[in-house]
Amino acid sequence: MPQEVQARPSNFKAIFISSLLLGFGFGFFQNADAAPPAEARLIGTVRDFQGAHPDFGQDFGIGYGHVAGNVDLTQSSRGKPVLSGNGFFVNTQWRNDVSNPIAPHMYAGASEAVHLVTAPTLNGNPTFDTYNSLLGPYDSSTNSGPTPLVQTGSTMPTIELPTGLPPLINEANFSGNGSTTLSADIHCNNFTIRNNHTVTISGDVTVLCEEDFSISNHGKLIIPEGSSLTVYARDDIEFTNNVDVNMTDPDHTRLTIYNLGTEEVRLWNRAFIYAEIVSPYAPFHGTNNTDFYGTITAQTIQLDNSAGLHLDLPAPMTACGTVLNDLVGISGGPASANVTSSSTFDEWFTDVMGTNLSVNHTITLTLNDNGIYEYINDEFYPIDDRLYGNENGPHNGNFTFETYFRFVYEACGSQFFEVGGADDVYLFIDGRLVIDLGGVMNEQEQIIEFDRLGLTDGETYQARFFYANRHTYSSDLSLRTNVEIIMPAITQIASAAFD
């Protein structure tokens, strides 16, 4: 493997500087404004294995295919992959939002699920989907997502009642044409907004209803920015007949409704509302052309007759504000990727006397017209007729290759590394597995977008790349990246004779 340059006595100074100038894929001495070099070099170690090794040169027909999860998500203290034994076949790859394949464990789906006790009931063409409030209000064209995940059997939360409220009154009734500004807390038996009346909340207001809370018959509730309304009700909670609730400047976090009783929360007949609803002892029920936007925790959900339930379950985002709308792949059954044991796997990337022979090898990536460094080789046989030789075959096809390099992370610079290979290919960045193409297979590809990884802008990180070809009838390797690769300055040939 390439070795880092260590401090040398002063009489090595001239040799050391020459090595730096010659050995770097990208030198530290470049002018920051200079055009990028036309080539980037990856200098690594090839290890040759004889076909008698249990992991190489065998008939892999039974276990043939892409296997993920067969190595740990972190590298060993020696910087090597570690066999986990938890492999599974990948029938269809996981993908990012532009359909590029990604490692299954890098999938970023919805960050939350709908928490219910029992599964929802959907009748009469309802709409049950998601949106991302970080991108603004729900919009069926520009801000809507798939049906949310539903987690049944959820433990319901305990609701703490508010304290310090004013004395109990019987009715808080806002009815008839006109408007009211509400800026004080209310403790009442029943709270009603109805018959074309508009209530505007000013400040942070709490309402505790010992019985019902309702908005009906063209009633309207406005909650401006900087204000909020928190409602607690022990009996009926109902929104019905052409009501507009927190829709003027929609933000569901401004209205929180706690259902303390066992009666369902009901939206009927063209009721439209942005809110957060917590109903631990009762269902949520929307029917007849209603639309609810926000979040719900409830016993269950029932939607009827073209009701819409649009839940704010935003997909994860990078630190750059990019939404990660990844697509789920399909996994198959357990798989070993035809690896015999942890001890045989450890030999893949370690010099072992009598088991493998090793030699340095350089891969050169060429800058294309789009500013991407590429290496594409559908016959990657770097040690034909060398070391153990071709063993009566057309190629020396039982080998591994490993290399490492460094790069400077540029936040929000759309940096990436894309790998295609057959057979096993693994890439670690900062000790974390980011490309997982295990198994003996036809060439597969994966990409890692560096903005996903939570790296620090301007910091230098290490990447470690591992490749294995375990059969003789094909060997493919392709690499694409837009990062400037920093190679160690001095390389040292690793050989079994010296380990």
Q: pLDDT of 284-339, one tens digit each?
A: 999 999 999 999 999 999 999 999 999 998 667 787 877 787 888 899 999 999 99
Query: Which band of pLDDT confidence, cut at 50, 70 and 90, is reported for residue 30?
Result: very low
- Which of 286, 390, 323, 347 shows the shortest CA–CA distance to 97? 323
Is the confidence at residue 496, as pLDDT, over 80? Answer: no
pLDDT of residue 484: 94
Query: Mean pLDDT, the chain, as a whole number?
Result: 88
Neighbours of 499 (CB within 10 A): 11
Is the confidence at residue 57, as pLDDT, over 90? Answer: no
Query: Which band of pLDDT confidence, cut at 50, 70 and 90, is reported for residue 111?
Result: low
Contact 445, 479 (CB under 8 A): no
Residue 421: phi and psi, rounded to 5, are -170, 160
Q: How far is CA 58 from CA 55, 86, 88, 300, 355, in A?
A: 7, 22, 20, 54, 16
- Which of 109, 107, 106 shows the shortest CA–CA distance to 434? 106
pLDDT of residue 17: 34
Residue 274 has which token pair?
A: 């942005």
